[in-house]
Amino acid sequence: MTEMTARQPRPFDLIVVGGGAAGLLAAIAAARTWQEHAGPAKAIPLSILILEKNDKIGRKILATGNGRCNLTNVMAIPAAYHGRDPRFCRGALQRYDVRATLDFFLDLGLVCREEEDGRIYPVCQQAAAVVDLLAQEIERLHITVQTQATVVALEPVEPVYLGSQPLDKAPHWRLGLADGQVLAATCVILATGGMASPNLGSDGSGYRLAQSVGHRLVEPVPALVQLTTAGRKTVCLSGIRVQCGLSLVQGSQEIGRESGEVLFTEYGLSGIPILQLSRTVSMNLHESVHEPMRIRLDLLPEWSETAIEAKITQRIRQNPTLRRPDLLTGLVHRTISAFIAREVLHQAPDQPVRTLSPRQVKSLAQTIKQLELTVTGTKDFSLAQVTAGGLDCRDFLPDRLESRLKPALFAAGELLDIDGDCGGFNLQWAWSSGLLAGASAARLLLSFQS
């Protein structure tokens, strides 16, 4: 990195890099913690600057929950999170749990309600309300926001010593912006997100900033993303939604299990249960596990294979002249019924059903219970909702989110190697870790007062 020179007369107390969910809450928590604990010094508020590369803050929040912002989930406990060391998330999630998050937002004026599967949304159904209320609080707390400000360099400033004593016990950081500006701060919080949906700002640049000062990276891969499947045989099912049970299988081993609504697409499969399985697929592909993965869809999870077989046999007896593609109508979607008939019966699909052998009937029932597709991969980061992998949590203190390698450097949100399930869990991690990083930075700044 080229040497940067700070032209700023006085450094900011805190610079937050990234004006997303984690960065906004970090800045607010820092300002509030200072106000609560600074005693007489609180008359002078912390000088806090948020640097955001987009032309406005909170762009990704606006896109969440299809514009409705599924901001948390009643089941957002540490067990719903992943990463190389998922226990790392406990510090933030236990200190700032779902109740604390909802209280935080209610205090700002946001009323929320629980919907299906514990998902929590604003009652006004508008993600824009979340961003507006955060922006109002940022203004009230006199936090400065600089948009269209992309941080491209980060470097610690070596302290000046008088004998063996540093002249100033507070550490300092310099940050270089893409437009050539150089800024200085006592504390820095990196909250630049991961690599998912880079069109919303998070393009992985935070990884490079942290790596430039020695931080390690767990290879980022797309998660909560659609799956691609082999061949074009299911293209005819594109657009059909089915409620089903799913298992992800590799060799003879089941490596994932979900249930819910699956959407057939041109390229493969989508829907919440597919997004949930995508992390395992991404990780396996990244680790170059060569054995192919397969998805098995149980199209009628409420029924056993034997019961389906009996039902088909009864239909054949009732209506022996029925054409084969119509045999499964009523058991599965009509188009899927014709598809299965073609797949299983191969020849003479138009013959009457009375010509079917008991083995063929069994085979039809089996396919309804286990429609199998070979998984070829996932869609890329441009369509992913979240990043699995990120800054290695071993380099951060879980109870403060401060770097173990560099003093006064903090990280929060998706940038870290923590990702959650689909359904409000990732925003909860961003809120909780942002609040913890901000409060920790303020406490460090308070310690320099004494």
Positions touching ligand FAD (CB under 6 A) are: 17-23, 51-54, 59-60, 63-65, 70, 150-151, 191-193, 196-197, 201-202, 205-206, 385-386, 413-415, 424-427, 430
Q: At closest approach, how far in Å is the CB of 400 from ligand FAD?
A: 17
Q: At closest approach, how far in Å is the CB of 384 from ligand FAD?
A: 7
At residue 333, φ and ψ (nearest 5 deg) are -50, 140
Q: Which is nearer to ligand FAD, 22 or 49 (CB)?
A: 22
Q: Which is nearer to ligand FAD, 295 or 435 (CB)?
A: 435
Indicate the pairing of strand 241-250 with strand 119-122.
unpaired
Q: At closest approach, how far in Å is the CB of 168 from ligand FAD?
A: 26
Q: At closest approach, how far in Å is the CB of 246 from ligand FAD?
A: 21
**Cα gap 353→388, rounded to integer Å:** 49
Q: At closest approach, how far in Å is the CB of 308 from ligand FAD?
A: 36
Q: Which is nearer to ligand FAD, 29 or 237 (CB)?
A: 29
Q: Rounded to a whole number, what is the largest CA-CA distance in the chain?
A: 100
Contacts of 149 (CB under 8 A, 6+ apart): 51, 52, 53, 177, 178, 179, 181
Q: Which is nearer to ligand FAD, 234 or 426 (CB)?
A: 426
Q: Which is nearer to ligand FAD, 149 or 269 (CB)?
A: 149
Q: Which is nearer to ligand FAD, 193 or 245 (CB)?
A: 193
Q: Which is nearer to ligand FAD, 122 or 256 (CB)?
A: 122
Q: At closest approach, how far in Å is the CB of 197 from ligand FAD?
A: 4
Q: At closest approach, how far in Å is the CB of 360 from ligand FAD?
A: 44
